[in-house]
């Protein structure tokens, strides 16, 4: 599965959690009795949450201590204890009331609306799964199906969806698989009882007829539509990963239960032939108003990879009969001209991946084929069903001359990611969701390391800034989500495994392992793993064993005395990562390094691959570690000259941050601003930028030092350091939203730094520019406009005005993002209407999405309110998977929008709640996270008057206001402590800038 992680940033500098919770917004609940969702130990979970709530509120420890003594008995004593505390003067009245409410809430309502999602949105991912010593531990085993001795030989499935008549929006199913028990109400298990014990090695056949609902929430077996000549065309499709196959047919719905599947479908006669994982087995057979179609039996595979589509979609491109593999791209008939690029990528991806693994796709099963299907409604970005990959339309369809460089990269990268899953996920599958990284980490790794063979896009070069650096932000929070996580015991736990940790940390650790054992040993090792584990489910040790075997043959680890497993386990079984501190004794030249968990006082150690380069001993090419640091402290064997700078972690191959002593930072800042800058590898310049932003945010590095180091950006023109800077400055801007003075200072200096770059790249594309240059310009202009760069604003206005005068003169495809957003920002309601009409009439989904997000940039209040109403209406013309994104886009479109969204929500509480469902409360929290102190005060008085919010919503809002206010105050105190009032920052920056030489751009 490919997921588009958020590109926006919230007020506290973290990306907005755009995790789509559409799943919860289903309008019709499944009536199917076989559906089995599991819940584990809600009681315990609430206890943990309650502790966190209380600690975060900084209340007296006594309350948290209560959690560990007889929960039920204290339930009745809470009010009494609180009254006693109140009378004793230990607490002011409001705190006593809050604690009473919180405690009674947590204990009395086990099924209350405090969800892990809510908490993770407020506090980051803070929920620890069930600890091994929990009294509820026995419940854990109840969640998983018994593994031993059960061999699921074969499923024969027949489904009939109904798009009209009395059975509209339902489907009938039949499965050859008894006496049944009612659903277990605690675990939603459906148990089948037999009269007698089953003899060992006996084969049991179960047949079940059932009916179910065709959902409209983009999960399970669900319904979607598109329009053709103004008429609605219905279709039915599937999305089963991770736990939704059971919504379509009863099954042992865990990845390890591999089986063979024979799928049959009864489709309406006038529909086009259906699609499933395998080739069709013979022609369709007329069956009343239906045509019955049966597909070849699958190889051994997991339930979540099954797929079927009943529709009138057509192939845009199809391979010829004589080709070894059968390829096709499928789309709605109106998008038939948009499949060429995907078709070419598809073929090249399969070829290069097969060659890399030395295991061709054609060897998997003769009846497997490769269909890539564009779907109008799709929750995930794409899904790797074996032989039938499904994509959200804008991620697959590409139109030459219309789709941007970014869209092209999306299409190629996602297709390679999904194609890599045919090997990592489909052929060899993670045994349980605890090891999801074995699927997703590899798919994302190959997305970045094979795509360049398919189409030259410099994706390998983009890996560090797009993946490694972005996930370091995620992983440094108190997430407590290790890559290999044994505590995955509920659907909620499983959902959390599809996070940037799994995808981005997974791929980063895989890349680090590749650099450690060497690229060829890595390639042969993963090939061995795939061949040994094919058609099976695997554990990390299966991977490590095969890599070790290859490393032994190649003798690639002889120098280290470290096994692959020891090295990898230190990274996969611990969450977080180390901060490596570097101390250089300037007299002796001795370099000492120390490792410590970043942002946590815990005694964890990692197997850290150490590489370095210094001014006198340049070595930025070799990423093979000089040694593996296992201990907390180490002294490098080589000394450096007294005035040498040193850079650790060549090309940021290792997954960690670095902090240098002050003298070394000063030497580095001098080197970066002088001629030595280009001697330092661009990935290391990017690493320094990324580390500096984060070390400063966490008060490890002073603002003054940070400014002094980052000033080199004025001379910088390479993609990698600037991409790190874009991200850092956006997060910083987000952090200082509530401090207009500081915002102004940051803006002024950002503009100074970016000006030479804007001048150099210009606004117009030159002939023969490569993909990365085009993409870089897009990002530069988006960034420059975000900080109100005068030239950028002017150019956006010109482009937009020209388009307005004559819409047939389209804006260049790669200039649309900034021209739409900042054109409309400087425009009026007429301009808004122009874009909205284009959104409604355009046939290219990626263009529609660009427009939709750009509409959030407008400053015409009533138009934004109209857009909010449109997004939230029952008949919305915005697809379900885009609705949350539009709200986010409006919220971050301009600081003034915080007030607009906030007022809209409170004027329209009922429709907003209805449309957003479980996302309503997180939306309120998101708004509060962007407020300044005055807005928080207004909101508080509003809350006191507003009677439309539920008790729970009020509580969430109040807690968020408390935390937001606390955060702003802490930031202000820190700025004051550093003597960095805004005036002083200006003085300091001016001083720095005066000492700089004229920009000397290279390349």
CB nearer Zn ion, residue 426 or residue 831: 426
Angle 21-441-20 from CA coordinates, rounded to 5°: 10
List, as one string, the DSSP characters of 55-99. Answer: HHTT--HHHHHHTTS-HHHHHTTHHHHHHHHHHHTSS-HHHHHHH
| Calpha distance 669→705 (Å, rounded) | 9
CB nearer Zn ion, residue 1 or residue 468: 1
Q: Are 581 and 594 in contact (CB under 8 A)?
A: yes
Q: Which residues are catalytic?
A: 418
CB nearer Zn ion, residue 392 or residue 777: 392
In angstroms, give the least distance from the CB of 244 to Zn ion. Answer: 16
CA distances from residue 324 to 369, 422, 535, 748 in whole angstroms, order as listed:
10, 16, 21, 59
For 735, the token pair is: 């952090």
In angstroms, give the least distance from the CB of 423 to Zn ion. Answer: 12
What length does the chain have? 1003
Long-range contacts of 493-500 (CB under 8 A, 24+ apart): 493/129, 493/433, 494/242, 494/243, 494/433, 495/242, 496/116, 496/120, 496/125, 497/242, 497/433, 497/434, 497/436, 498/1, 498/3, 498/242, 498/436, 498/440, 499/125, 499/474, 500/5, 500/470, 500/471, 500/474
In angstroms, give the least distance from the CB of 458 to Zn ion. Answer: 22
In angstroms, give the least distance from the CB of 1 to Zn ion. Answer: 4
CB nearer Zn ion, residue 2 or residue 357: 2
Q: Please report how many Cα atoms fall inside a 13 Å half-sphere around the Cα of residue 178, on the Cβ side.
A: 18
CB nearer Zn ion, residue 543 or residue 689: 543
In angstroms, give the least distance from the CB of 823 to Zn ion. Answer: 36
In angstroms, give the least distance from the CB of 504 to Zn ion. Answer: 12
In angstroms, give the least distance from the CB of 688 to Zn ion. Answer: 31
CB nearer Zn ion, residue 1 or residue 778: 1
For 216, the token pair is: 């409209």
Q: Are 609 and 509 in contact (CB under 8 A)?
A: no
In angstroms, give the least distance from the CB of 485 to Zn ion. Answer: 17
| Calpha distance 349→352 (Å, rounded) | 5
- In sequence order, the β-bridge partners of residue 470 are none
Encode burial over 992-1002: b for 16+ CB neighbours within 10 A, e otherwise: beeeeeeeeee
CA distances from residue 237 to 388, 418, 572, 648, 975 in whole angstroms, order as listed:
11, 18, 35, 50, 54
For 881, the token pair is: 């998977």
For 457, the token pair is: 């896009």
CA distances from residue 594 to 630, 634, 650 in whole angstroms, order as listed:
10, 6, 17
CB nearer Zn ion, residue 3 or residue 233: 3
Sign of CA dihedral 975, 475, 648, 757: negative
Distance of CA 632 to the CA centre of its chain: 32
In angstroms, give the least distance from the CB of 226 to Zn ion. Answer: 25
Q: Are 611 and 654 in contact (CB under 8 A)?
A: yes
CA distances from residue 288 to 191, 212, 235, 285, 1002 in whole angstroms, order as listed:
35, 21, 19, 10, 72
SS3 state at 147: coil
CB nearer Zn ion, residue 376 or residue 441: 441
CB nearer Zn ion, residue 389 or residue 792: 389
Give contact residues for Zn ion (rule: CB under 5 A): 1-2, 440, 443
In angstroms, give the least distance from the CB of 498 to Zn ion. Answer: 9
Of 99, 102, 119, nearest in space to 59 by CA: 99
Sign of CA dihedral 48, 51, 53, 55: negative
CA distances from residue 683 to 466, 542, 653, 719, 730 in whole angstroms, order as listed:
12, 32, 9, 9, 20
Q: Are 553 and 451 in contact (CB under 8 A)?
A: no
CB nearer Zn ion, residue 2 or residue 38: 2
| Calpha distance 571→515 (Å, rounded) | 15
In angstroms, give the least distance from the CB of 88 to Zn ion. Answer: 57
CB nearer Zn ion, residue 383 or residue 796: 383
């Amino acid at each position: 599965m490919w997921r588009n992680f958020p590109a926006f940033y919230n007020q506290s500098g973290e990306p907005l959690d755009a995790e789509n919770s559409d799943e919860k917004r289903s309008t019709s609940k499944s009536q199917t009795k076989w559906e089995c969702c599991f819940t584990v130990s809600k009681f315990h979970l609430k206890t943990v949450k309650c502790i966190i709530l209380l600690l975060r509120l900084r209340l007296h420890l006594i309350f948290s201590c209560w959690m560990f003594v007889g929960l039920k008995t204290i339930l009745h004593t809470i009010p009494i204890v609180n009254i006693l505390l109140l009378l004793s003067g230990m607490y002011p009245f409001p705190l006593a009331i809050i604690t009473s409410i919180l405690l009674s809430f947590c204990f009395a309502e086990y099924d209350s609306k405090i969800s892990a999602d809510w908490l993770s949105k407020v506090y980051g991912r803070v929920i620890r799964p069930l600890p091994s010593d929990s009294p509820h531990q026995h419940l854990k085993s109840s969640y998983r199906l018994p593994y031993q001795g059960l061999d699921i030989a074969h499923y024969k499935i027949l489904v009939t969806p109904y798009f009209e008549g009395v059975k509209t929006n339902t489907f009938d199913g039949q499965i050859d698989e008894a006496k049944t028990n009612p659903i277990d109400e605690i675990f939603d298990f459906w148990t089948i009882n037999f009269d007698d014990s089953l003899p060992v090695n006996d084969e049991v056949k179960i047949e079940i007829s059932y009916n179910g609902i065709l959902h409209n929430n983009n999960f399970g077996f669900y319904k979607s539509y598109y329009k053709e000549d103004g008429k609605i065309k219905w279709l039915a499709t599937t999305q089963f990963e991770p736990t939704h196959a059971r919504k379509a047919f009863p099954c042992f719905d865990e990845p390890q239960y591999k089986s063979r599947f024979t799928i049959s479908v009864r489709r309406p006669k006038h529909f086009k032939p259906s699609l499933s994982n395998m080739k069709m087995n013979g022609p369709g057979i007329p069956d009343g108003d239906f045509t019955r179609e049966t597909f070849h039996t699958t190889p051994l595979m997991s339930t979540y990879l099954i797929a079927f589509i009943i529709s009138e979609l057509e192939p845009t491109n199809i391979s010829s009969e004589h080709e070894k593999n059968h390829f096709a791209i499928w789309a709605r008939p109106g998008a038939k001209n948009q499949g060429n690029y995907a078709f070419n990528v598809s073929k090249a991806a399969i070829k290069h991946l097969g060659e890399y693994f030395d295991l061709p796709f054609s060897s998997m099963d003769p009846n497997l084929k490769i269909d890539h299907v564009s779907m109008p409604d799709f929750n995930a970005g794409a899904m790797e069903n074996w032989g039938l990959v499904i994509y959200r339309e804008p991620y697959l369809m590409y139109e030459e001359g219309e789709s941007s460089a970014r869209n092209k990269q999306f299409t190629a990268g996602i297709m390679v990611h999904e194609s890599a899953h045919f090997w990592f996920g489909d052929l060899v599958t993670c045994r349980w969701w605890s090891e999801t990284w074995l699927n997703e980490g590899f798919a994302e790794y190959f997305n970045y390391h094979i795509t360049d063979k398919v189409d030259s896009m410099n994706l390998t070069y983009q890996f560090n800034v797009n993946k490694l650096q972005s996930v370091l932000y995620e992983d440094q929070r108190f997430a407590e989500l290790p890559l290999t996580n044994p505590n995955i015991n509920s659907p909620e736990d499983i959902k959390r495994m599809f996070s940037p940790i799994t995808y981005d940390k997974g791929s980063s650790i895989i890349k680090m392992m590749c650099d450690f054992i060497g690229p060829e040993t890595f390639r042969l090792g993963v090939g061995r793993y795939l061949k040994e584990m094919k058609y099976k489910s695997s554990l990390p040790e299966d991977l490590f064993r095969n890599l070790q075997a290859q490393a032994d043959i190649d003798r690639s680890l002889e120098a280290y005395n470290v096994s692959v497993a020891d090295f990898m386990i230190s990274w996969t079984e611990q969450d977080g990562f180390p901060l490596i501190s570097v101390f250089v004794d300037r007299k002796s030249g001795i370099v000492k390094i120390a490792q410590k968990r970043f942002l946590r006082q815990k005694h964890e150690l990692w197997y850290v691959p150490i590489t370095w380069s210094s001014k006198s001993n340049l070595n930025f090419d070799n990423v093979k570690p000089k040694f593996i640091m296992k201990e907390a402290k180490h002294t490098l064997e080589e000394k450096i000259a007294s005035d040498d700078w040193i850079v650790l972690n060549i090309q940021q191959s290792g997954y960690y941050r670095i902090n240098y002593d002050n003298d070394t930072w000063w030497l580095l800042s001098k080197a970066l601003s002088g001629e030595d800058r280009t001697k330092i590898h661009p990935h290391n310049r990017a690493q320094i930028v990324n580390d500096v932003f984060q070390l400063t945010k966490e008060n490890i590095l002073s603002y003054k030092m940070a400014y002094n180091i980052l000033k080199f950006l004025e001379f910088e023109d390479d993609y990698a350091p600037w991409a790190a800077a874009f991200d850092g400055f956006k997060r910083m801007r987000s952090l200082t939203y509530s401090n207009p003075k500081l915002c102004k200072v940051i803006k002024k200096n950002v503009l100074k730094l970016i000006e030479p770059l804007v001048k150099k790249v210009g606004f117009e594309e030159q002939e023969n520019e490569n993909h990365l240059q085009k993409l870089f310009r897009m990002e530069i202009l988006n960034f420059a406009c975000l900080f109100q760069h005068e030239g950028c604003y002017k150019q956006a206005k010109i482009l937009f005005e020209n388009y307005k005068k004559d819409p047939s003169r389209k804006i260049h495809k790669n200039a649309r993002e900034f021209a739409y957003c900042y054109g409309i920002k400087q425009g009026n309601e007429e301009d808004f209407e122009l874009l909205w009409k284009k959104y409604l009439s355009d046939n290219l989904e990626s263009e529609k999405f660009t427009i939709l997000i750009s509409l959030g940039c407008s400053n015409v209040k009533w138009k934004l309110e109209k857009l909010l109403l449109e997004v939230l209406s029952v008949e919305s013309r915005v697809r379900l998977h885009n609705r949350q994104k539009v709200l986010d886009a409006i919220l971050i479109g301009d600081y003034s929008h915080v007030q607009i969204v906030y007022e809209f929500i409170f004027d329209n509480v009922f429709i907003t709640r209805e449309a957003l469902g479980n996302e309503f409360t997180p939306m309120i929290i998101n708004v509060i996270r962007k407020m300044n102190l005055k807005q928080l005060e207004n909101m508080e008085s509003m809350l006191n008057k507003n009677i439309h919010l539920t008790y729970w919503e009020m509580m969430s809002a109040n807690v968020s206001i408390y935390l937001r206010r606390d955060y702003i105050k802490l930031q202000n105190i820190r700025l004051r402590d550093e003597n960095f009032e805004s005036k002083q920052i200006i003085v300091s920056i001016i001083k720095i800038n005066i000492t700089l030489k004229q920009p000397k751009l290279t390349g």
